[in-house]
C-alpha cells in the first residue's frame, strides 16, 4: 500500500511542478528543456526518498523500491510527453 500511495503522490507532485513551470515560462523550446530537467530532478529526488523510506519500512533491502522507482519514472515520462503533445496541439 505504501508503494501505491507514494507513487500517486510523486505523480501529482511532478505534474504540478510541470504545470507551474510551463505556465511561468514563455513559449519555445527552452521551456520544454527546462520542463524536462525539472521533471528529471523531481522524479529522481522523490524516487530516492521513496526507496529509502520503503527500505526502512521493510527493514530489508529488496528490489521492490527499484521497481516502484522505474514504474514511477515511466508513468512520469508518459505524463510529460502527453502534456507536451497537449500543449503543442492547443497552444
pLDDT in tens, 74-87: 777 777 677 666 65
pLDDT reported for residue 36: 79
For the CA atoms of 62, 1, 54, 73, what is the dihedral angle to 10 degrees?
80
91 has pLDDT over 60: no
Looking up cell 520544454, which residue turns up? 32
% of the chain with per-residue pLDDT over 90: 0
CA–CA gap between residue 39 and residue 1 (Å, rounded): 24
Q: Please, what sign has the CA dihedral across residues 73, 79, 84, 87? A: negative
pLDDT tens-digit series, residues 19-60? 777 677 777 777 777 777 877 877 777 777 777 766 666 665
Q: What are phi and psi of 45, to 5 degrees?
A: -70, -40
Amino acid at each position: 500500500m505504501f508503494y501505491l500511495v507514494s507513487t500517486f503522490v510523486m505523480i501529482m507532485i511532478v505534474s504540478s511542478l510541470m504545470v507551474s513551470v510551463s505556465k511561468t515560462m514563455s513559449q519555445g523550446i527552452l521551456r520544454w528543456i527546462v520542463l524536462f530537467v525539472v521533471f528529471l530532478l523531481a522524479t529522481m529526488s522523490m524516487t530516492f526518498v521513496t526507496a529509502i523510506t520503503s527500505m526502512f519500512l521493510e527493514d530489508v533491502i529488496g528490489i521492490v523500491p527499484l521497481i516502484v522507482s522505474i514504474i514511477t519514472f515511466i508513468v512520469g515520462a508518459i505524463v510529460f510527453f502527453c502534456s507536451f503533445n497537449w500543449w503543442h496541439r492547443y497552444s
